[in-house]
Structure 1
Amino acid sequence: MAARPSPRDRPSSPSTPRWACPSSSVVPSRASRGLAPLGLLALSASLRLPALDLRPLHHDEGSNAIFVLRLLHEGAYRYDPTNYHGPVLFYLSALAIRLFGAATISLRLAPAALGALIAPLAWCLRGELGRAGALSAGALLAVSPSLVYYARDDIHETYFVAFTLLLFVGLVRGGREGGSAAWMLAGGAAAGALLATKETAPVTFGCLAIGTLAAGRVWPGRPRPARLALLAGAALLVAAASYSRLFTEPESLRDAWRGLGVWGHRALAAEGHEKPWWYFPMILGREEGAALLAGVAGGVLALRRQDRFGHLLAAWSLAALAAYSAIPYKTPWLVLNLILPLCLLAGVAFQAALARERPARARRAAGALLALLASGSLLRAVDLSFVRYDDPGASPLVYVQTRRDALRLVSRIEEVATRDPEGRSVGIQILSPDYLPLNWYLRDFDNVGYFGKPIDRPEGSMIIARSDAADEVATRLEGVYRREEYDLRPGVRLCLFVREGP
């Protein structure tokens, strides 16, 4: 009787890449395969979508809100290469507000939704990682404390990481023999969105290129030149349309090119955000132990087994770590660019550990380890995103975060306004250079003056100043004012003067 061929001996289908893992795993049934991405989506969304207005807006969110509101009210946006980033965030945030109304939940809906899609998108790599590997990678992405924390902020990094994964999936799926051109189009659109999101897109392109070279001189499944041209064309079209407002402002394309140089200089100059080279390894070790440990294990296995897809992921991870560690300018949300390839690389380890060929006891132990690692990340994600979200001592992820006390200040302003005959037309003067994100919370007040420093004759029902300038402001007030103090963020305390009499 002829021996039954092993999974490695069976011929692959034309649409399967040469680097694909064996299909056997602990996710065997068609029903399970259909439920896997839905389960990943449900888990991911349950951590990112609830109570999006719980954490006060970050300073950077307040800055972004200026452009979002201007886009909504004036229909105008012009990319400024000397400050801020690309337009994708502003367009998608404005769209969410247009659809669901001006509220903090709406402002943060786009990054939260994109963040929720990252985990199930990893399932699209099951042909390369294997079903168990893709499911494991998706689970680690779903519960990553860093990915969860920053998906609940309307800053650029979650958009960036979601588009990075879509680009990668598009390249892999579209590059397969017999792969669909639609995947190449999707990958190209994602590459264009990366360019229109942040000026660090070339860093990601370079890291992916290094990973591809490490996997072999020839891309397995080797996309035809026409397919690569399709991807490049889609990327350029999306990026150009985004920067030029659908080609109505072609001069913005020149600004976009200038922006690469401006932000390259800023990254090297650091400008107050300089950190040591070990900053990102420290964050990974402290907050992302599951992804780090499993990712390292996946890299070792890939080298031992000559797994070319694993080589790609390992080289991508190392290139990203080297690039972002070498750049002096470091903020904690940049670590998301390292977590993504590490979680995918972790899938290599769990695919090997959970495959059917392994003894049942070994598979159970691997499953228990995955559950333990994911549970630890889940608990940490819940703690940072829903409990200690404004405590800088809790985690390096909590970076110049607005304190919850700022929402008490906003509530106090609204309380005074409800008692004042002028209502939301009550006079408010802000005499502090530090006030973001109060501009978002006071967006419905139509008589707010932003002066940025003490003025000679402050007037209004409410005056806001930095606490270190409060005594100076108090001597210039005419009338009787009640004085109250609130924390805005670490190192910044504001004083609210409320008029009580003439």
Structure 2
Amino acid sequence: MDEENIQIDEEQKPDKFWIVSSILITAIAAFLRFFWLASKPLHHDEGVNGFFLTNLVRDGVYKYDPANYHGPTLYYIALPFVKLFGLKTIPIRVSVAIFGLLTVVLALFLRRYIGKTGSLFAALFLALSPGMVYISRYFIHEIFFVFLSLAVVVAVIYFIDKRKAGPFATLWMILLLMMCFVPSALNLAAFLGGESAWAVWAFAIAFLIVESALIYFVIRMVLEWDAGRPIYLILASASIALMFATKETGFITIGTMMIACFCVWIWRGIAAGDAFQRLKWPLIGGLHLAALLAAIFYRKELTDGAKWTYGNFLGEGKIQEPFAFYAIVVLTLVVIFAWAVFLYFFRQPDESTLADDASLTWSNLALGIGGGKDRMLMIAALATVFVYISVLFFSSFFTYAEGVSKAFEAYTIWTKTGSKDHTQNGLLAYVRWGIKVETPLLLLSALGAGIALLKGKHRFALFATLWSLGLFLAYTLIPYKTPWLALSFYLPMCIVAGYGINELINTRNILPKIAGVIVAFSATGLLAYQTYDLNFVRYDDEEMAYVYAHSKRPMLDMVAKIEYYADKSGKGKEATIEIVSPDYWPLTWYLNEYSHANFHGSLVDANVAEMIVAKKNDQDRDVIQKYSAHYRFAGVWALRPGVDLMLLVKKDLADKDAQDLYRIPEWVSPELRR
């Protein structure tokens, strides 16, 4: 998007503090997302995604099936990385982590709408959010979806705000065009070239030259169209298409955004009215009184909630987290103090340095689109982009036509899967998970939302407030819940939290400044601790939110043991491994280089395979009866909660410490030993 609006206020010199702070926040975000990226074992879902990606790499085709998993975009954004670096854990996770980093960078483009301080803290909160970091280090669809959500918002407001296309927007447009045309051209070159490598290269080079020229002329033409302003809407249309090609929940996010826009228009009319101005303080007092009465009425539930919170951090049998618990208590009190300070000084004339974003109106949107032929041309361009990108991905770059019709079937399937609570955490699941690892965002977004609603003049802050609230309510009411869905509403919560800090710090009165600084740095410290704890210490601990049915780190030890015996056998990747356990994901990923790794899911006859992987407890008796003559017991490793796998090794290959299979029932898990 527009570089000038992120670093330079057209009539001023570059803001060195802004530039240095932006670079520092981006560096923090990059470190948290890319450091030690393979340490966490792949989740079951990552293993499935890796399986589809492996098939795409080896067969050249991905066949979209909504009954299996989400949309096809994830596999295609990972494809260049695995083509360059191989089917390894780090490349596939890097392909996702990049978009986690870009989400942080995009928040910096909101400077004009939530203030310089606000955008810096919004970006910092996105950089430090435990969930944003955790899922950015995860090969699933969610982070790319979150990035696209913010990309839609930024693109639309830049278009409305009459921005000419800057270098960032132009670059994204070029990448979009390359994504749309280059892969198909390479596929065509491979088809026409047949078995001749020379012919394939010749066709590929010729097609790339032609397409480069076409992309150049398209970019030049679009830049000459109203100074390139339409690029922003084209990027928004492309982002929406990619959202729907990524996850079925795209309609929830887009629908919530549209409702939020309408509600902003309604609320601004109310807030600016004489009646509201006259009754403002009685209403504020009444709302606080109502909150107090509700707290008294629901005191048992609140007491139970407080006990639950204490138990989760300091309860018996739990990992003790006194710092996190008392930091949450302190931060809660500080936020209440900051709110009281804001209300006290709110009686005075508003001294916010953040200007009213008056340009963000429906009329400016309509003017930008134009009338007559211009409007028809704009609508045609946006529709063409949306349809083309949707068909492109669902058809797997025109190699699987059935994928387009199956895109519509996805919503029928989703309505069935979305009606069940697989996590069994109930209506308040997102509140519980949030308290555990995202408390600063819950508290600060509530503070920012209150400030935005009472001031009622900053359109974008109101939009972000209602966007976050709408998504939170939607996902709370939908029975189907997984921790990573929460990222969709934590994104606008970070923006609202940044706005709230901006409004506290950027006033002339010293007390709000002090309150804002204390809130900001208290929240930052707690987020940093929780991010470190979740992502680098307890990343496979089921007590932590976002760790849902996750693979245990001992699984990587089992993979290492398999590699050890494969090398010892002298066959290496040609060693035969029979996986007879019904539970084995994500081993398909870790064993994808073993050409004779056979995933049966049930016991089979085997006496020549170097190794067998079976399920502990459920298959003990059958394993002893079937394999005792030829195999020894090399050990047991946790796959995920409730699932342990055992490795059997041929007797002539097993180490001396390997045991006879009749010793299997004597094995006791480390958890029970404690």
CA-to-partner distance for each residue in 1:329-370, whole Å, 9 max, x for gaps?
A: 111111101100111111221121121x33356424422321
Rounded to whole Å, the distance in 2 between the matches of 1:51 and 1:480 is 36
Aligned match for 2:365, one of 209, 212, 222: 222
Supply the distance in 1 between the matched residues of 2:34 and 2:631 (Cα, whole angstroms).
44
State the 1:36 CA deviation: 3.7
Cα separation, 2, equivalents of 1:30 and 1:181: 29
Structure 1: how far apart are the matches of 2:634 and 2:394? 46
**Could you say which residue in structure 1 is the equivalent of 2:455?**
305
Q: Any residues of structure 2 matched to 1:41-120 within 5 Å, and which?
A: 41-120=26-105
Q: How many residues align?
A: 476
Letter in 1 for 2:254: F
Deviation per CA, 1:294-339: give whole Å up to 9, x if none. 1111111111111322221121111101111111111111110110
Summarize the Cα distance change of 1:37–1:188 in structure 2 as closer, same or farther, 3 Å threshold.
farther
Aligned to 1:285: 435
Instruction: Please give the alpha-carbon distance, in whole angstroms, between the structure 1 residues aligned to 2:362 and 2:79.
Output: 39
Contact 2:633 2:646 in 1 (8 A): no
Secondary structure, counterpart of 1:497 in structure 2:
strand
The alpha carbon displacement at 1:196 in A equals: 0.8
Runs of 4+ aligned structure 1 residues displaced above 6 Å come to none
Residues 394-409 of structure 1 aligned to structure 2 (within 5 Å):
395-409=544-558
Residue number in structure 1 paired with 2:493: 342
Structure (1 or 2) with the greater helix fraction: 2
Matched, 1:375 2:541: no
Stretch moving more, 464-473 or 137-146: 464-473
Contact 2:607 2:630 in 1 (8 A): no
**Pair 273,232 (structure 1): closer, same or farther in 2 beyond 3 Å:** farther
Alpha-carbon distance in 1 for matches of 2:388, 2:26:
30
1:137 is matched with 122
Q: Which amino acid aligns with 1:499?
A: K
CA contact (8 A) 1:483 1:496 kept: yes
Asked whether the 8 Å contact 1:482–1:500 carries over to 2, the reply is no
Shift in CA distance, 479/249, structure 1 to aligned 2, threshold 3 Å: closer
- Residue identity matched to 1:403: K
Aligned to 1:481, the other structure's residue is in SS state: strand
Which moved further from structure 2: 487-496 or 92-101? Answer: 92-101
* Aligned match of 2:632: 481
* Structure 2 SS opposite 1:268: coil
CA distance in 2, matches of 1:479, 1:284: 51
1:457 to partner: Cα distance: 4.5
Matched to 2:255, the amino acid is G
Q: Secondary structure of the equivalent of 1:216?
A: helix
TM-aligned CA distance change 1:175 to 1:234, over 3 Å:
farther
Question: Would the aligned equivalents of 1:62 and 1:438 in 2 still touch at CA under 8 Å?
Answer: yes
- State the alpha-carbon separation in 2 of the partners of residues 123 and 220 from structure 1: 26
Report the equivalent of 1:390: 540
1:151 maps to 136
Aligned letter for 2:135? Y
Q: AA paired with 1:131?
A: K
Q: How many angstroms apart in 2 are the aligned matches of 1:365 and 1:273? A: 38
Give TM-score, length-normalised by structure 2.
Answer: 0.68
Q: 1:79 Cα shift?
A: 0.5
CA distance in 2, matches of 1:251, 1:263: 18
Residues 394-445 of structure 1 deviation map (CA, whole Å, 9 limit, x = unaligned): x122111100100010010011011102222111100011111111111111
Deviation by residue 1:107-166 (Cα, 9 ceiling, x = unmatched): 101111110111121111111111111111111111000110111010111111111111
| Sequence identity (%) | 31
Mean alpha-carbon deviation: is it higher for 471-480 or for 403-412? 471-480
| Structure 2 residue aligned with 1:448 | 597
Report which stretch shifted further, 457-466 or 358-367.
358-367
**Which amino acid counterpart does residue 493 of structure 2 have in structure 1?**
L
Change (3 A) 1:458 1:185: farther
Counterpart of 1:418 in structure 2 is 567
* CA contact 1:266–1:329 (8 Å) conserved in 2: yes
Structure 1 residue aligned with 2:584:
435
* Aligned residue in 2 for 1:470: 620
Q: What is the CA–CA distance in structure 2 between the aligned matches of 1:150 and 1:28, rounded to whole Å?
A: 38
Q: Is the 8 A contact 1:44 1:117 kept in 2?
A: no
Q: Does the CA contact (< 8 Å) of 1:176 and 1:220 recur in 2?
A: no
| CA distance in structure 2 between the aligned counterparts of 1:144 and 1:275, rounded to whole angstroms | 22
Q: Which has the larger radius of gyration?
A: 2
CA contact (8 A) 2:244 2:250 kept: yes
Does residue 1:208 correspond to 2:257, yes or no? yes
Alpha-carbon separation, structure 1, partners of 2:548 and 2:400: 36
Which deviates the most, 180-189 or 403-412?
A: 180-189
SS at match of 1:135: helix
Measured in 2, the distance between the counterparts of 1:228 and 1:294 equals 39
Which consecutive unaligned segments of at least 5 residues does structure 1 have?
Answer: 1-14, 17-22
Cα distance in 1, alignment partners of residues 595 and 50 from structure 2: 16
Give the letter for the 2:232 counterpart: W
2: CA distance, partners of 1:228 / 1:349: 37
Which amino acid is the alignment partner of residue 596 of structure 2? N
Q: Distance in 1 between matches of 2:381 and 2:18?
A: 30
Q: Secondary structure at the match of 1:428?
A: strand
Report the Cα offset of residue 449 of structure 1: 1.2
SS where residue 51 of structure 1 aligns?
A: coil
Q: 210, 228, 235: which one pairs with 2:386?
A: 235
* Residue equivalent to 2:466: 315
Q: Give the alignment's TM-score, normalised by structure 1.
A: 0.90
- Kindly indicate whether the alpha-carbon contact (under 8 Å) linking 1:38 and 1:120 is maintained by their aligned counterparts in 2: no
* From 323, 327, 346, the counterpart of 2:478: 327
Moved more, 357-366 or 235-244: 357-366
Say whether 1:164 aligns with 2:149.
yes
> Secondary structure of 1:434's partner?
coil
Does the CA contact (< 8 Å) of 1:431 and 1:455 recur in 2?
yes
SS at match of 1:245: coil
Matching of residue 498 in structure 1 with residue 547 in structure 2: no
- Equivalent pair of 1:211/1:312 in contact (CA under 8 Å): yes
Q: Which amino acid aligns with 1:203?
A: I
Q: Which stretch shifts more, 225-234 or 310-319?
A: 225-234
